[in-house]
Amino acid sequence: MINSMDIIGFVYTAIALLVAIIPHEIAHGYAAYLLGDDTAKTDGRLSLNPLNHIDPIGLLSMIFLRFGWAKAVPINSSKFKGNRKKGTLIVALAGVCTNFVLAFLFSIPFAYSYLKGYNIANLFQEILWYNVMLGVFNLVPLPPLDGSKVVASLLPSDVEYKFYKYEKYFYIVLIALVFSGTINKLISPIILKIINTAYLFGAWIVWNVLNII
């Protein structure tokens, strides 16, 4: 039987996922747009509509495995102004950086509401968690994750070409690592370290800067 707490928990998780996924994807598209590529904008990926960004398998992975991915943002690096590799690096890191910034920002209302005993602290904690999770997971250097674009941007052009040529095979490797639990073992310590740092940051801001406790 479903009770009110289950419903609230589901709503909190849904909100947290949206707060993590949508800004991440918009950041990719907007960074590309600023660099001269309007592909994401034309494709509707600068929209707040979650249906434009959600990948069904990635979403289910986030719900049940606590890490996952969204639909890849279409990028045409040939449209970038200036250095293509530098542009690729900036666009790849834009989403991850957005997630980490959001995690630390939401650590502040989390710290305050937790210390006050407010139930809304659970929502802020979920938002913090999913942003850190999405940020760290996307740094894994396997396609289609952002980490693979970071690696590709640092490779010589001939090696980069081969990397992209065979990237579809890396997808299989990623899926195998995810569902075997290997990825979880590798990135969980990093996720927890960042989350704990965010907790400390939020508490410090509440106590020493805002002086509201």
79: number of Cβ within 10 Å: 15
Q: Please give the pLDDT value at position 68.
A: 64
174: Cβ contacts below 8 Å, ≥ 6 apart: 140, 142, 143, 144, 145, 183
Give the SS3 label for residue 4. Answer: helix
Structural domain total, the chain: 1
**Intervals of the chain under pLDDT 50:** 1
Q: Please give the pLDDT value at position 92.
A: 95
Give the SS3 label for residue 172. Answer: helix
The catalytic site residues sit at: 25
| pLDDT tens sequence across 163-210 | 888 888 888 898 888 888 899 899 999 999 999 999 999 999 999 988
Reading the block at residue 146, the tokens are 């952002």
Q: Is the pTM of this model over 0.75?
A: yes
Classify residue 82 by burial, with Cβ atoms within 10 Å: 0-12, 13-18, 19+.
exposed
Widest pairwise Cα distance in the chain: 58
122: number of Cβ within 10 Å: 17
DSSP state of 173: H
Rounded CA-CA distance 92/151 in Å is: 10
Domain containing 173: what range? 4-209
Q: Taking a C-beta distance cutoff of 8 angstroms, is the pair 75, 39 a contact?
A: yes
Q: Please give the pLDDT value at position 212.
A: 72
Rounded CA-CA distance 91/73 in Å is: 10
